[in-house]
Amino acid sequence: MKRVGVIGGGQLAWMMADAAEKFGVKLVVQTPSENDPAVSIAQEIVFAAVDDASATKTLANKCDVITFENEFVNLDALSDLAHQGVCFRPRLEALAPLLDKYHQRCYLRDLGLPVPQFFAIEQLKNIKSKVEYLGFPVVLKSRRHGYDGQGTFIIQDFASLEEKLSYETTIQTSNESSFLLEEFIPFDRELAVIAARSVEGKIVTYPVVETQQEQQVCRRVIAPAEITPNQLAEIQAIAHTLLNSLEVVGIFGIELFLTANGKVLVNEIAPRTHNSGHFSLDACETSQFEQHLRAVCGLPLGNSDLQCAAAVMVNLLGYENSHSDYQSQRQQIAKIPQANIHWYGKTESRPGRKLGHVTVLLDNQNRDLAIALAQSIESIWYPR
Ligand code: ADP
């Protein structure tokens, strides 16, 4: 497989460039705007929205296999292409149970994997007893198209739930059944693991990491996470069960909660490369982007071990509306020993937008030190 089509042209596609060059793979990207990060690295571009399946047909004519950096596609329309012989990796049947968060929770539960208690909202008036059973706070989530915490709301009481649902259903032209409700997990930490599955069914997992979110958006990642050998084994088993059951080819990101009494629960599955695996670009022999390309192209999977004792990754999130490229902050951060900046080349900054990230390689596994380093990067990046 030498020509890979990528649906979505954001930073996740952009970060596949080095691996594509290494393997002599041609990347053809389907993305709506000429300002999207991957436009600068793609050999060919189909300018169209990611859910435009007729554009994906054009994309298919230009490549041997199609993969995703954005999963908000129109699966029904893509299935017609798959029936005509277009090769999607991961396969569309593996995406089907994941794109709706309620279906995803049901799929994980039916596999016997641990998940928070949850239910779909059919009609608000019918859920009072169920909500009382979960107890406040509860978490309200849009079933579809949520990312970076958009569409995830922590709700403290029934009046706020009613208010939020009526507001969201008005602005989104959706209705109550577009949401699910779940138990709020008072987690001790959030964890994540990246796992890849090859065409032959071999699975490779990356070190389990700790992720830290603020306002539901990932701010920093510490690799490896401080967990027990049993928790590590449990998380690796979750990854194997999931990827084997879905029979996927490619990289998956799995987000987890670790509770105060040491219980692991699955929060969310991303059927693609994931923010929690960005550290692998600098800290592992095979980055998640190279691994994904290897899997999708039918190549053997590479070594996913850390090449250093530890690493910390900090997202550089937009905090204002601007066209600045933040040269001086970037230069200051670059002076930190063992720091590697990845700047996505977005022409517009908006609050919360992922503009780049920094990974610092560390020579010991000291969580406090990693957090302190992340804080010093953030104090350079964010204005006081
Ligand atoms: P998104 O798809 O937008 O990333 P997530 O479902 O992953 O949304 O939620 C984003 C963040 O919100 C999580 O990383 C976590 O910090 C918080 N969160 C989500 N679900 C729960 C929950 N059930 N209990 C506690 N916190 C949660």
Query: CB neighbours of 147 closer than 8 A, spacing ≥ 6?
Result: none
pLDDT of 172 reads 65
Question: Does ligand 1 come within 6 angstroms of the Cβ of 72?
Answer: no
Rounded to whole angstroms, what are the CA distances from 20 to 16, 28, 63, 320, 344? 6, 11, 14, 33, 17
Q: Is the CB of 138 under 6 A from ligand 1?
A: no
Phi and psi angles of residue 127, each rounded to the nearest 5 degrees, phi first: -110, 0
- Kindly give the pairing relationship between strand 264-270 and strand 310-317: unpaired
Q: What pLDDT sits at residue 124?
A: 66
- 354 DSSP 8-state letter: E
Nearest CA to ligand 1 atom 11: 216
| Ligand 1 mutation pick, 263, 267, 274, max ligand atoms within 8 A of CB | 267
Q: Does the Cβ of 273 fall within 6 Å of ligand 1?
A: no
> Which protein residue has the closest C-alpha to ligand 1 atom 21?
184
CB-ligand 1 contact for 191 (6 Å cutoff): no
Question: In CATH, which of 3.30.1490.20, 3.40.50.1860, 1.10.630.10, 3.40.50.10860 is domain 117-183?
Answer: 3.30.1490.20
Which contiguous run of DSSP H or E holds residue 312?
strand 310-317
Atom from ligand 1 closest to the CA of residue 151: 3
Ligand 1 atom closest to 147 (CA) = 3
What distance in angstroms lies between residue 71's CA and the mean position of ligand 1's atoms?
18
Q: Is any ligand 1 atom within 6 A of the Cβ of residue 212? A: no
Residue type, 300: P
Residue in the block written with tokens 């670790």: 258
175 CA to middle of ligand 1, Å? 21
Pocket of ligand 1 contains residue 71 by CB under 6 Å: no
Options 3.30.470.20, 3.40.50.2300, 3.30.499.10, 3.60.70.12; CATH of 187-381: 3.30.470.20
Q: Are 94 and 160 in contact, with CB atoms under 8 Å apart?
A: no
> How do the domains of the chain map onto residue ranges?
3-88, 117-183, 187-381
In CATH, which of 3.50.30.30, 3.40.50.20, 3.30.1490.190, 1.10.3720.10 is domain 3-88?
A: 3.40.50.20
User: What is the Cα–Cα distance from 164 to 150, expressed in whole angstroms?
Assistant: 13
Euclidean distance between the first and the last CA atom of the chain, given in angstroms as a whole number:
49
Q: How far is the CA of 188 from the centre of ligand 1 (A)?
A: 13
Give the whole-angstrom CA distance, residue 198 versus residue 297.
Answer: 9
What pLDDT is recorded for position 129?
Answer: 84
- Please give the chain's pLDDT, 384 residues, in tens: 699 999 999 999 999 999 999 999 999 999 999 999 999 999 999 999 999 999 999 999 999 999 999 999 999 999 999 999 999 999 999 999 999 999 999 999 999 999 999 999 877 667 888 888 899 999 999 999 888 778 899 999 989 998 888 887 776 666 667 899 999 999 999 999 999 999 999 999 999 999 999 999 999 999 999 999 999 999 999 999 999 999 999 999 999 999 999 999 999 999 999 999 999 999 999 999 999 999 999 999 999 999 999 999 999 999 999 999 999 999 999 999 999 999 999 999 999 999 999 999 999 999 999 999 999 999 999 998
pLDDT at 80: 96
Cα 300 to ligand 1 centroid, rounded to whole Å: 34
Nearest to 277 by CA among 246, 313, 225, 241: 313
CA-CA distance, 18 to 14, in Å (whole number)?
A: 9
